[in-house]
Structures are given as structure tokens and as C-alpha cells.
Chains A and B, each alone.
Chain A
Amino acid sequence: MAEGAGTYVRVKGYILRECIVACRDSMIEWFTMVTWSPYLAGAGIGVLIWTAFLLSDHPLGCSTGFSSTAGMVEAGLSGGKAREMPYYQKFIPGINWSWMLIIGVVMGAFLSSYLSGTFAVVAVPSFFAAAVGPDAGFRLTVALIGGILVGLGARWAGGCTSGHGISGTLQLALSSWVAAACFFVGGILVAGLLFGFRFP
């Protein structure tokens, strides 16, 4: 009788251990996969927007954090005077939810690429190298100019691909649907002019 109970406990312990190992292995496999289905990852972003609205009363937007960075740098250089600029009265620069979001995005993407073994320090992406050339200085300059236009345009339009393109459109905001359309119309036209229209 006692022996039977011991066997029962041992078998139960064995099954539990096997389950934990299998679960852990599939979790590891999942986290180390190079890519997930875009539909699944997108759905995950949708769920993340639920929690951002519920817990933080915040849409998921990335350009606000960059505005904060610019404001803090300007305020640092001007000895605080920049904080009086009308725009920084409206969007007060500081280490806030939106700023921490950007730091998190860098960390999360690092974690994901590190776990899947795809982290690599690269200056010129393969498509650009093949289409334009492998010169790193040129690519970094183009990226800087593109970045300036992205930052200017995002604040001008009141949001970017995440703030307008995802968080805004899903709230059915009219300005966000128009903004998202303009992002892609502008992007498709300029990319076509730069690299040649390839569709279909």
C-alpha cells in the first residue's frame, strides 16, 4: 500500500517534470524563432494597445518620445529657456511614459534579435547596398536626412505610423486614417522615384 502510494507520487512527479520541461522547451523555441507570423505579432500589438489604454490611459505612439528628447536637449543647451517655447508648453518634455516607451522598444528588439541570434551591427542594409552602393557614410547621411523629415512630418501630422497608423486608426479617428494614407502615398511615391517602381 505504502509502496503503491510512493510509486504514484514518483509517477506524478515524473509527469509534472516532463510537462515543465516540454513547456519550457517550447517557450524557448518560441522566443528563439527568427520571425513570428506577421498576423500573430500584429495581434499581440493590438493586445498591447488594450493594456496601454486600460492601465496608462495612453495610445501607443512613438514620435512623442522623440519630441521629449529634442525638448530636453534644447532645454539643456539653453539653460531651461527652451521650456518656454509654445510647443513645449503643449507637449511638456521629460522622462515620461512616452519616453520610456522608446527606451523599451530598443531593449525589446535587442532581446528578440539576441535570442534568435540575428543581432548584427550593420551600417548598410543589403537592399540599399545592392541598389545604391555599399558606402556607409552615404547611407548614414541619407538616413539622417530621412530621419529629419520623419521627425518633422510626424510632429506636423500629430503622430507617426504607430500613433496615427495603428492607435489612431483603430479608434476610427478621421485624422489618423488620412494621415496613414498620406504616409503610404508619400512613401510609395518617393521609394518608387528612388529605387524604381516594381509593382506588379
Chain B
Amino acid sequence: MSIDTLRKNNKAQLLLGLLTGIAFGFLLQKSGVTNYNVIIGQLLLTDFTVIKVMLSAVLVGMIGIYVMKSAGVVRLHCRMGSVGATVIGGLIFGAGFALLGYCPGTAAGAVGTGALDALSGVVGIAIGAGIFARLYPVLASTILNRGAFPAETVPELLGIRPVVVVAGVAVMILFLFWGMQVFGL
């Protein structure tokens, strides 16, 4: 079976989605980030677990995805952003993030660990997503396209080859890890 037939096999994809989710939920819980105290600790800058998990995933994921992309076996899924969509949406998300103490993935994970407040949170997230779908026609014609970003990716923006940016980001992440160890964060 080729990769393409697997990607188009609906039932196999449902199973793969479930298995990916199980592994993701397992890793999120084991890393500690399904815990409210850990996430609020990150936002109060007293616990850096969330950043360590995220940047480790970015470091490993980035190198693998760019290697596979250059081999021609995967394609990127980048979307154009804008001030009206990315910045405003991002800040609304951030405010909710602090109130809820979980993001969509970690809230689902926290439900699995028995957190009832996360259950209330996931109901809220679905309601919020529904509200956005309702508002979408109005927002799309007013602010979502305001201040469109000049490029889709960072290498395009800087006008340098992706491999150089990958190396730069990798060094930056390793430097941050080193810094966090030095300062005992």
C-alpha cells in the first residue's frame, strides 16, 4: 500500500487520528502539561515546563519535517496570517488561556486525568468555536484580512534559504535550553 492510498483511506485515517491522539495525550500527561498548576506556572513565569515541551517538539519536529520535505515525501501546511486574524485572535486566545489554565489539547488531556474544570473548559471551547463560525461572515469582510503579513514563512520574509533558518532556530532553541539550565528555570 502506498502512502497516497493510506492518506486517502478514510477508515485508516480515523484509526490513525485516534492512535496519534492517544500517543499525544499520553506524552502531554507524562510531561506534566495537562496539569493546571503547571500551565498557570508558565504564564506566571515560575514554571518553564510548557516552554521546554513545546521547544523540544519544535526542535525535533522541524528537523524531521524539513528533511522529509527535501526528500519530497511531505508537504508543508502553512497559512497566510494577518494582524486582524493572527494578532487579535492570538490575544483573545491568550486571555482565555489564563482564565481556563489549559489550551484545547491540554484541556482534552486534563479531562482524561479527571479534571472537572477542564471538562467545563472543553464545553466552553466548543461554544467559542461555534461563536466564531457564526461571526465568520462578518469578521471575514471586516477585520480578518486587515494587515496581511508580507510572507507565508519566515525564510520567505527574510529572503534566506530554509535550511539556514532551520539551523538558526535550532541553535536558538538549544541556547535557550542551556540558559534555562544555567538560571535553574
Contacts and interface: CB of A to CB of B under 8 A. Distances in A.
Same complex origin of A and B: yes
Nearest to B99: A146
Given A170-B62, A188-B43, A158 B124 contact: no
B155 A62 contact: no
A171 B77 contact: yes
Contacts, number: 539
A125 B101 CA distance: 10
B171 interface: no
Interface string B114-141: 1111101111111111111110110110
Most buried by A among B97, B114, B152: B97
Given A105-B112, A152-B128, A171 B78 contact: yes
Contacts of A177: 154
Contact of B134 (A85, A146, A182, A192): A85
A35 B165 CA distance: 32
Number of chain B interface residues as a range: 35 or more
Interface stretch (A7-15, A17-25, A161-169): A161-169
Contact of A178 (B6, B81, B125): B81
B61 A166 contact: yes
Contacts of B146: none
Given A55-B7, A182-B93, A172 B162 contact: yes
A146 B98 CA distance: 7
B177 A186 contact: no
A146 to B, nearest CB: 3
Interface in B41-85: 41, 43-46, 49, 52-62, 64-65, 68, 73-82, 85
Contacts of A140: 116-117, 120
A194 B94 CA distance: 13
B3 interface: yes
Contacts of A134: none
Contacts of B151: 174
Given A50-B65, A53-B65, A125-B37, A43 B24 contact: no
B37 to A, nearest CB: 4
B157 to A, nearest CB: 6
Contact of A154 (B73, B89, B101): B89
6 closest A-B pairs by CB: A104-B21, A186-B94, A147-B124, A151-B128, A175-B81, A182-B90
